[in-house]
């Protein structure tokens, strides 16, 4: 029989709370405060507040006068932001909580008023945990990196539309050129739009290694490119050029914002050389990780921030990012569920980094090749992404830390030779072989 476990009583740990059920144009506010005359009793009040700056600031003054120590709201689209930022600026402790964690009991009536009351009751009993909301500089950096990601995806869609348009005109340029938007491909498309239809003349515009493919280019550029295609292609190429300019501008802003952030250095007792190495910008230290480049490192900083105090251990960060399988246990059956959605911006960057790292001759590449044989491509990538995230946690948490690759032979070096020998002998024996080993000469 297992020993009894002491459980800390969590009821009524927050005496003065407020909860807000947020909609687009208003919010239902519920406060629960101690009764002035009846000890142990609570006073509950629910009212509606408009989602305007003046109304929210007036609410903040009222909550401060009531002595409210914690304000909790659900993450509802982007409508929570004005409430959170204004109340936080007014000096209140504001928590943003996951809507999945505050669902009411199934089968009960659901109204904005009841949702606000339920949220307030969960808050006063300490049954909620706050979501991660980074400070203002990191939030602004997030806006820049996420906008750059969106515009990059939009540029890719326009490029795909150009290729589809060329296929409609029987121009098979993409079967010969790796990138039709390179110097050679772009010159050929501009010439087609300008009215040049001769495949031989177009093929002569090839540059560098493309000049070795002139015969294939002449075949690929023989089609029925008409004025209709030229007008559409010109419009799409102009959109691509405009997006290129906007992405370049955003990258400049992102670089300036990251460089303006405070740089943490090592202890003063270090030598000048050691202090200089420890004072490297975080972006450069993250760039040393296989699979991570400067743009990906900027996304990591924007999504995670510079303070790892909100994630006490790498495991907490991996769980928040939904890169850890969910445990499901019932009776004698133990299974693992899907990892979950998590932060899509962070997971997208980690996925790209994992795919790049999997192709390298490093520890991360060896980890992918070791896992893909028995777990499959997707699960191996998730495992590599989790390893990258753990490395990122250590580099952000310790400003003096530098990445050091363990080497692609790390798993091989850690193998026990005797155990490996026994395993191989057992496998050969199972296959019907009788093996006698002779030690090799030194």
Q: Quick one: CA dihedral 93, 97, 101, 107, positive or negative?
A: positive
pLDDT: which is higher, 375 or 411: 375
Q: Quick one: CA dihedral 33, 34, 40, 43, positive or negative?
A: negative
**Using one digit for the tens of pLDDT, what is the confidence trace for 50-65?**
999 999 999 999 999 9
**Using one digit for the tens of pLDDT, what is the confidence trace for 322-339?**
988 877 888 888 877 777
> What backbone phi and psi angles, to 5 degrees, belong to 376?
95, 165
Q: How far apart are CA 63 and CA 86, in angstroms?
A: 13
Q: Are 43 and 33 in contact (CB under 8 A)?
A: yes
Q: Which of 37-46, 218-227, 251-260, 389-398 has the lowest mean pLDDT?
A: 37-46
pLDDT computed for residue 1 by the predictor:
46
Comparing CA positions, the residue from 392, 390, 396 lying closest to residue 261 is: 396
Q: In angstroms, what CA-CA distances link 9 with 13, 41, 126, 412?
A: 9, 18, 10, 50
Share of the chain above pLDDT 90, in %: 63
Count, in order, helices (H) and strands (E) of the chain: 17, 7
Q: In angstroms, what CA-CA distances link 342 with 106, 171, 306?
A: 24, 42, 19
Average pLDDT over residues 18-30: 93
pLDDT: which is higher, 48 or 278: 48
Comparing CA positions, the residue from 401, 119, 438, 82 lying closest to residue 265 is: 401
Q: Which of 137-141, 417-421, 428-432 has the highest mean pLDDT?
A: 137-141
Rg (C-alpha) for the chain, rounded Å, is: 30
Q: How far apart are CA 366 and CA 408, in angstroms?
A: 5
Cβ-count burial 106-121 (b if 16+ within 10 Å, e if not) = eeeeeebebbbbbbbb
End-to-end CA distance of the chain: 56
Q: Are 302 and 145 in contact (CB under 8 A)?
A: yes
Q: How far apart are CA 76 and CA 427, in angstroms?
A: 57
Average pLDDT over residues 295-309: 94
Q: How far apart are CA 381 and CA 384, in angstroms?
A: 5
State which fold the 17-124 domain adopts: Nucleotidyltransferase; domain 5 (3.30.420)
Q: How far apart are CA 312 and CA 68, in angstroms?
A: 28
pLDDT: which is higher, 209 or 251: 251
**Using one digit for the tens of pLDDT, what is the confidence trace for 352-373?**
999 999 999 999 999 999 999 9
Q: In angstroms, what CA-CA distances link 205 with 170, 180, 191, 233?
A: 19, 13, 9, 18
pLDDT computed for residue 269 by the predictor:
41
For residue 149, the SS3 value is helix
The residues pairing with 30 across neighbouring beta strands, listed in sequence order, are 19, 46
Q: How far apart are CA 218 and CA 201, in angstroms?
A: 9
pLDDT computed for residue 48 by the predictor:
94
Q: pLDDT averaged over the chain? A: 88
- What pTM does this model have? 0.84
């Amino acid at each position: 029989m297992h020993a009894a476990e002491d459980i800390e009583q969590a009821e009524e740990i927050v005496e003065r709370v407020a909860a807000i059920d947020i909609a687009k144009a208003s919010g239902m506010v519920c406060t629960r405060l101690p009764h002035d005359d009846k000890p142990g009793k609570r006073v509950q009040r629910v009212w509606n507040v408009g989602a305007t700056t003046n109304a929210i600031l007036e609410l903040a003054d009222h909550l401060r006068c009531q002595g409210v120590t914690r304000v909790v709201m659900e993450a509802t689209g982007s409508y929570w932001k004005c409430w959170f930022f204004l109340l936080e600026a007014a000096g209140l402790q504001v928590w943003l909580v996951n809507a999945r964690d505050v669902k009411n009991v199934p089968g009960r009536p659901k109204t904005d008023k009841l949702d606000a009351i339920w949220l307030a009751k969960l808050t006063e009993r300490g049954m909620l945990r706050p979501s991660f909301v980074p400070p203002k500089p990191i939030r602004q950096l997030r806006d820049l990196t996420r906008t750059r990601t969106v515009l990059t995806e939009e540029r890719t869609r326009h490029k795909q539309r150009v290729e589809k348009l060329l296929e409609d005109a029987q121009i098979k340029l993409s079967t010969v050129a790796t990138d039709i938007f390179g110097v050679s491909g772009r010159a050929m498309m501009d010439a087609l739009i300008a009215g040049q239809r001769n495949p031989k003349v177009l093929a002569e515009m090839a540059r560098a290694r493309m000049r070795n493919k002139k015969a294939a280019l002449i075949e690929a550029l023989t089609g029925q490119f008409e004025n209709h295609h030229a007008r559409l292609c010109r419009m799409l190429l102009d959109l691509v050029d405009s997006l290129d300019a906007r992405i370049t501008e955003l990258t400049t802003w992102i670089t300036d914002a990251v460089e303006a952030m405070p740089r943490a250095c090592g202890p003063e007792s270090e030598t000048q050389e050691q202090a200089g190495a420890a004072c490297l910008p975080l972006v450069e230290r993250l760039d040393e990780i296989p699979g991570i480049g400067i743009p990906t490192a900027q996304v990591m900083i924007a999504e995670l921030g510079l303070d790892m105090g909100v994630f006490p251990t790498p495991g907490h960060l991996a769980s928040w990012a939904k890169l850890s399988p969910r445990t499901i246990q019932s009776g004698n059956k133990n299974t693992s569920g899907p990892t979950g959605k998590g932060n899509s911006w962070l997971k997208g960057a980690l996925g790209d980094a994992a795919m790049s790292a999997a192709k390298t001759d490093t520890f991360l590449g060896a980890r992918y090749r070791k896992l893909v044989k028995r777990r499959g491509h997707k699960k191996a990538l998730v495992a590599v992404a989790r390893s990258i995230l753990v490395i990122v946690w250590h580099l952000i948490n310790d400003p003096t830390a530098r990445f050091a690759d363990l080497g692609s032979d790390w798993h091989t070096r850690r193998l026990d030779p005797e155990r490996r020998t026994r395993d191989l002998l057992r496998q050969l024996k199972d296959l019907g072989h009788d093996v006698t080993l002779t030690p090799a000469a030194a």
